[in-house]
Structure 1
Amino acid sequence: MIVLLAAGLAWWQHWPPFQAPAQPEYEGITFRQGAVLAARFAPSGHDVLYTAAWEEEPLQTYAVSLDELQEKAVGPSEALLLNLTARGDALLLLAARQRPDVPATPTGASGFIGTLAIAPWVGQLVPKERLAGVQAADIGPDGTLAVVREEAGRCRLECPPGTVRAVTSGNFGPVRFSPNGKLLAFDEHPIEDYSDSRVSLLDLRTGQVRVILGPAEWIEGLAWRGAELWCSASDTVVAVRPDGSTRQVLKLPGYVILEDVAPDGRVLLSRHIWRFGLLAFSEEGTPPQVISRGSWPWLEDLAADGRILFAEQVNPRTGGLYLASGDGAPAVRVGGVEATTFSSLAPDRPWVATWRSGSPPHVTLLPTGAGEPRELAVPNLEACIGLGWTRDGRILVSGFEAGKGKRIFELNPETGSLTPITEEGIYFDSFLPPKTSPDGSRFLARSRDGVVVVPLQEGGGGPRLVTGVEVGEKVVGWCADSRHVFVVHWGPFPIQVWRLDPDTGQREKARTIDPQGYHGPPAENVFLTPDGKRGAMLMRLFHSELFVVKGLT
């Protein structure tokens, strides 16, 4: 009996027999539909400040008490939270607007530009303006200000403002000072689709910059935890030490951004979920044709005859480059997964141009029918951010050389020669392909001030800014007369299409896009044929959630 009692006592003391490892605890603190763009713990640790775009409302910064989970608006609308220091100084972007090279629904604060303002957090935010044209910023423990600004088509990290510490042809941001103020961490995205991101450290004592993480896809969040820098890259949170050693902290399904780490170790994470679709449409009142419901389709190009070039970018089993007729027939695969970056369909020629990085990088010409691929080496380019064609078969390459800004080059497919045709700061990208006019005389590109028309003929003058484009509108292509462009405002249906004179700004209604029987998310990207009768559009349903996570080490 004594033996049985002793065995029973031992069994009870060790129950349950199998102990599950400790798991992190997640508490959701946002419950509305929309996008969370930035979030920080308040110095007290009891509140969280965050900027979100809920439903159809404008950007707004909110505060939520972690005790009651009651959300309240603080500060002006259209202001974006960049950082919140340990002293309680909030760094805001006033009149924050999306940069033209980011998607309609960006994740994170790095897709915006505005006027930097500082506001002490005292239950409300009353900002005082400091500096215009800022994209990211932080304040060190000693009050040193670091900012990211653009100059002549290149992004500059300045610390303090006016002292340039690093330059890139892509983007910087966010930036975070270490707790002792001796190091400044920052994300760098040399290619603007964030597929080649990295994290660097600036040693403020020596002025030296070194890369400690990357290249990797979609590095966007940064926060210090003691001597470690925690970062988020796509679906993973990693801890990096200044010597470059790394360890994985957390991996989750979906896309996550590390927003902040509190002194007690709690972590603020935002999780972002996308649902995509690609549709073709034609005459008003006709039902749309579903082109793709893949994991991440991307609209690459639209031919004048309505053929649609698109990429499936994520799923390795279905990934590749596809050409669809737009009339409901199955799409034809013209390239593999390696061909899903920056592609363009040649007008009146059976070729697709696509970019492939490597040593050296090159442009690959893929046949749309019978034939063999061709490769054109472009060793002088460090990166490409977009491809296009002229009407006579030359290839337009948007990219940059080492140490220089973004610009546009002309690649001769017969000789392989690469010639710059614009100044630095004039470029195009995957969000504005180089729409060449039907008569071949000019094409559309970007500048710091907006969309520009670039002449292709000698003696045609320099780039001219497209006038009359209103806030929130996108230029989506040329009209058949080569004198007007189509302009739309992405969003819910029906979508009004305008015919705009880029020189005078005068406009008239061209058509309405309202696919019969369609019920789904609003359009984010719209391409139109020159006659305006056919087109394609990318649909994206986007949702963000904000969590406080305990138990991560």
Structure 2
Amino acid sequence: MLSPGSCLGPYEIQSPLGSGGMGQVYRALDTRSRQGVALKIIGGPQGQAGERLARFQQEARTLAAIKHPALPALYEWDTEGATPYIAMELLEGETLHERMLRGALPPDEAMDLAHQLALGLAATHERGIIHRDLKPENLFITTEGRLKILDFGLSKALPTHLDEHTLIQRPETSHPTQVGTVMGTVGYMAPEQVRGWEVDSRADLFVCGILLYEMLFGRRAFSGDSSVETLNAILKEEPPLRATSPGPYSPELIALLKHCLEKNPADRIPTATQLASRLEAIQRKGVALRGLARLLPGRAGWVALALATGALGLAAGHHWTHQDPPVLKRLTFRQGLIRNARLSPDGQEVLYSAAWSGGPLVIYSTRPDSPESRTLELPEGDLLGLSRSGELAIAMGSRPIQSWMWRGTLAVVPLAGGAPRALMERVIAADWGPGGSELLVVRNLEGRTRIEFPSGHPIAESSGWISHPRVSPRGDRVAYLEHPVSGDDAGYPVVVDRQGNRRVLTESWPSIQGLAWKGDEVWFTAAEHGVARGLYAVGSGTPRLILKVPAPLTLHDISLDGRRVLLAKEVMRTGIQSLRPGADRERELSWLDWSLVQDLSADGSTLIFNEQGEGSGAAYDIYLRRTDGSPAVRLAKGAYPILSPDGRQVAAVAVGVPRRIQILPTGTGDARTLPDSGLETFHRLRWFPDGKRLLVQANRAGEGTRLFAVPLDGGPAEPLTPPGHQIFGQPISPDGRHIVTRVGEQEDRILSLDNGQSQAILGLLPTERVVRWTPDGKGLWAVDLHEMPCPVHRLDLATGTRKKLLEISPEDLAGMTVSNFLLTPDARGYAYAYRRVLSELYLYEGLR
């Protein structure tokens, strides 16, 4: 035992938290950051030291490799003298075992915890890790209602998911489990575990069923007078579902429990992702009152349902009183994009930045009692924040640097008038602290996005991008949206305090934009599917839906008293324009509502694109379409599709877990999937000119994004660059010996695959992106998508001479941005993706 005040490494012991077969856990203080941690060390009989050490290391490697809200964060693992230790997130709350000592859980709480458990297991299973020792003692419920999965000491790595680069050891190099060895806890094991057979992720799902049963009914699913009888019950008996199903639980929930508790793994629910999806669907329908209504069919059922609902309302302290519907007022009436909007401290004035009718981004002011907006006498730019004392934070010269992300020079200026005072360049977002003297800023530095609050003091960062940061009313926390993939607005809301302690509030959403505080709640706008964002609120539990309309919403601000909510309703579309070689005008080739062009054949006759909006159910469907306007042909589901040099195949990233590269025929033939190359978080694919390899921008476990060559014959992925390299356009030279890469925010450079040397590109402007090489390999085509019209130039590699080829200029520029510009090698044909966002600003009163 360690005594309070003693130190282990940089950690000062404060008090014991618990002990078990593996060792002891202490509350400790990191003397470097002054942050509280949970410190776990090995203990127990000396004869089992080797096995305990192996399991201890297995747990550390698992937590290091898998970062998810349902797993405690790992800060460090090391050895001090002869004592190994793990420093991890300090959790406040109780175990599920302690919670269930008070009886069955309310249905909504049980379902929420089961849903969080399924999501956490989906993340571990995706990385090839099965827990094998799920039980109430190993599940922790924080004071905020978040579930944490503990003790991965018995976890097992599946060999089909891992390679020599993975942080978690292969089974043969860690503590191997022989067939016939029983691993787990009596009462919380799958039948195949009881028999000592080889197990996979479905064993964890069986135990999920056991745990959900126990939470709902307040008793064990399988029990006996002895361990042997309990194990026999798992093998041969069924839990008493039929006798209890005429209670408050719906047939859908009972069916799901039975599906989890199938004795044969092949008959069981196959994945944790599917389990989470079904739990979520049942939660939406309601798990308790539906069952009650079914007991009393017809009118009597509805009477019983009303009485039960009334009883619940009275028990919660609510009365059946009339509530007026929300009142809304439209504030803007022009066509274009609204970037940001804020309410004045008294709530009587609205400030917003907008680009109307394809014009520049300008800051305006309006009042709810007037349909007119006036232009503020400020430079062109974006509104970032408005302090309680009436001082503006603006981004002068703000321009899009990626889809959704804009950047400019941060300046401050009094709302009453005066000249802006420039403070900082390359700022993405900003907000004021409640006192009006501290500024929060978000900057993109060295390929990572960072929050500083106050300016100069980093508290959070992301390898993707960060949007909509807002300081809490008390100034002690910051809420923001984290988007893991650059250029994609999928993500989740996060709260971080001034010390950098971070808490993810919800799981990821396919589209999430807009956030504000209302008291201690965080309100945000997000979409469950596609881009039709609704308004949600979240505190310490499950997010609740506040408002949904048949259009995407973006939350901009909430008044200090919480009565007024500023929302933009948006019409959004991503489409395709193409100029076929020999044609005299562009053709609209969009298919559904979110057509994102990915590749164009060398002769300009064929497009490959993704559909991932409402029309396709956000399914990442791959389509092929001729540029003569022929109907599109759906090939498969997949992301980042790219056409082979001969036009006969498409390479894409298969949607699902684990993600693999698939090769699809454009005509007749069979699709095939390449062997697992150990890569994950794919970003882009490109074909080498010989058609035998793919250039892939991806990650390996524990590493940053880099470029790999992946052979189509099933060979291993070959790293071509250090971490940090990205590709855009068609970066491979005609001879396949050079590629154009970008590192972080630096300029594009030419990298030799022969010797690894890189060189600058003469004549390339900082705002330009390389589209592709000229056919002779002596020049590059480059486009500037930050301007409108977008100019395309030919650059001579030897001299840096620039020659303008053409301009891309859509007829209607309102709310328009251009991306994914593709060009044929001879520059006679092209295609590009455009995004159009048309915004209307509304003021709502009465939203709760």
TM-score, normalization: structure 2? 0.56
The aligned counterpart of 1:120 is 414
Q: How does 1:118-267 map to 2 (within 5 A)?
A: 118-122=412-416, 124=417, 126-142=419-435, 143-204=437-498, 207-234=500-527, 235-241=533-539, 243-264=540-561, 265-267=563-565
Secondary structure at the counterpart of residue 270 of structure 1: strand
State the one-letter code of the partner of 2:826: D
Name whichever structure is richer in strand by fraction: 1
Secondary structure at the counterpart of residue 216 of structure 1: coil
Q: CA deviation at 1:249?
A: 0.7
Partner Cα separation in structure 2 for residue 219 and residue 514 of structure 1: 29
The aligned counterpart of 1:97 is 399
2:398 aligned with 1:82: no
Residues 360, 379 of structure 1: 8 Å contact kept: no
Greater C-alpha radius of gyration: 2
Residues 399, 786 of structure 2: 8 Å contact kept: no
Q: CA deviation at 1:212?
A: 0.3
Secondary structure at the counterpart of residue 506 of structure 2: strand
State the one-letter code of the partner of 2:331: I
Partner Cα separation in structure 1 for residue 487 and residue 788 of structure 2: 27
Q: 1:447 to 1:533 in 2, by over 3 A?
A: same
Secondary structure at the counterpart of residue 428 of structure 2: strand
Mean Cα deviation higher: 212-221 or 390-399: 390-399
The aligned counterpart of 1:5 is none
1:322-377: per-residue Cα shift (whole Å, max 9, x none)? 122323443332213xx1x2222222363322224654332222232312321443
Residues 37, 51 of structure 1: 8 Å contact kept: yes
> Which segments of 5 or more consecutive residues in structure 2 lack a partner in the other structure?
1-320, 528-532
Q: CA deviation at 1:398?
A: 1.8
Q: CA deviation at 1:288?
A: 4.5
Partner Cα separation in structure 2 for residue 457 and residue 54 of structure 1: 46
2:338 aligned with 1:36: yes
Q: 1:358 to 1:327 in 2, by over 3 A?
A: closer
Residues 335, 356 of structure 2: 8 Å contact kept: yes
2:660 aligned with 1:362: yes
Q: CA deviation at 1:48?
A: 0.8
Q: How does 1:275-354 map to 2 (within 5 A)?
A: 275-283=573-581, 286-306=584-604, 307-314=606-613, 315-316=615-616, 320-336=621-637, 339=638, 341-348=639-646, 350-354=648-652
Partner Cα separation in structure 2 for residue 267 and residue 295 of structure 1: 28
Partner Cα separation in structure 2 for residue 75 and residue 403 of structure 1: 49
Residues 352, 367 of structure 1: 8 Å contact kept: yes
* Percent identical residues: 32
Q: 1:333 to 1:359 in 2, by over 3 A?
A: closer
Partner Cα separation in structure 1 for residue 362 and residue 813 of structure 2: 25
State the one-letter code of the partner of 1:377: D
Q: CA deviation at 1:539?
A: 4.5
1:449-492: per-residue Cα shift (whole Å, max 9, x none)? 46514335212622534634375x55433222222222345599
* Matching residue within 765, 768, 782 for 1:469: 765
2:566 aligned with 1:272: no
Partner Cα separation in structure 2 for residue 321 and residue 546 of structure 1: 34
Task: Quote the RMSD (CA, aligned, Å).
Answer: 3.1
Partner Cα separation in structure 2 for residue 116 and residue 271 of structure 1: 27
TM-score, normalization: structure 1? 0.84
Q: CA deviation at 1:380?
A: 4.6
Partner Cα separation in structure 1 for residue 809 and residue 500 of structure 2: 55
Partner Cα separation in structure 1 for residue 361 and residue 770 of structure 2: 23
State the one-letter code of the partner of 1:394: R
Mean Cα deviation higher: 161-170 or 447-456: 447-456
Partner Cα separation in structure 1 for residue 846 and residue 831 of structure 2: 46
Mean Cα deviation higher: 136-145 or 181-190: 136-145
1:60-111: per-residue Cα shift (whole Å, max 9, x none)? 1111133334322225323211111223232222232221x32xxx4xxxx1
Q: CA deviation at 1:316?
A: 2.8
Aligned length: 514
Q: How does 1:427-438 map to 2 (within 5 A)?
A: 427-428=726-727, 432-438=728-734
State the one-letter code of the partner of 1:286: D
Residues 741, 751 of structure 2: 8 Å contact kept: no
Secondary structure at the counterpart of residue 214 of structure 1: coil
* Matching residue within 722, 725, 728 for 1:426: 725
Residues 284, 513 of structure 1: 8 Å contact kept: no
Q: CA deviation at 1:198?
A: 0.9
Partner Cα separation in structure 2 for residue 400 and residue 169 of structure 1: 12
Partner Cα separation in structure 2 for residue 113 and residue 344 of structure 1: 30
Q: 1:465 to 1:229 in 2, by over 3 A?
A: farther
Partner Cα separation in structure 2 for residue 171 and residue 395 of structure 1: 27
The aligned counterpart of 1:12 is none
Secondary structure at the counterpart of residue 548 of structure 1: strand
Partner Cα separation in structure 2 for residue 400 and residue 188 of structure 1: 19
State the one-letter code of the partner of 2:557: D
